[in-house]
Amino acid sequence: KVKKVNSPDYVESAKKITSLLSSNETKNTGLLIGHRIVNTPITLVPVIHKNIIEDVYWSQGIQDLDPNEKKFYFFDWLVFYTKIYNNAEGEIIFANYEEQYFFQHKTDHVVWNNNNVKKFYEVVNGKNREVTYKEFVTVFVVPFDKVAEALGQMQRGVGGVGSVGGVGSVGSVGSGGGVG
């Protein structure tokens, strides 16, 4: 559920995220801005995310890469910035369905109202109805070592939707350097 901005847990999460991003510690944080082509086939979305992570591991393994650049491919955290909606029951609805899988592994998040609304059409008892949801923006933080788990859940979530010919499933990401 969306919480009020001045609630103690919201303030604490905002402090933790700010501290993480402004820390002098040697932490590498990646930024994932949730935006993709609207009509991307749902079965391709896990594959696209998997390929991004595979590219990160590939970059980590390049032997002749300048060490000053290479260190930036070893992420500790991913920060997500995306739109969400709040329905009448107070449930969070993600603009891009795949972000819910990453959100399940968040350590902290903040949400704010951007004063927009969006109309959706739902089918209830065989009839279309128009609903209006408030739009919010969220920033949330996921430990990088939880990304593979989120990708696996995402792949299983679309598993019943259909399959993509020639595209393998999302496997586990390990220190061995890849997504299998």
Under DSSP, is residue 67 helix (H, G, I), strand (E, B) or coil? helix
- Is 72 a residue whose pLDDT tops 90? no
How many C-beta atoms surround the C-beta of residue 53 within 10 A?
A: 19
CB-neighbour burial class of residue 46 (10 A; exposed 0-12, middle 13-18, buried 19+): buried
pTM: 0.74
Strand pairing class (77-86; 92-94): antiparallel
Percent of the chain beyond pLDDT 90?
24
Could you report the per-residue pLDDT of 91-123, keeping only the tens digit for each?
888 888 899 999 999 998 888 888 888 888 888
Round to whole Å and give the CA distance between 99 and 137.
Answer: 13
How many C-beta atoms surround the C-beta of residue 148 within 10 A?
A: 18
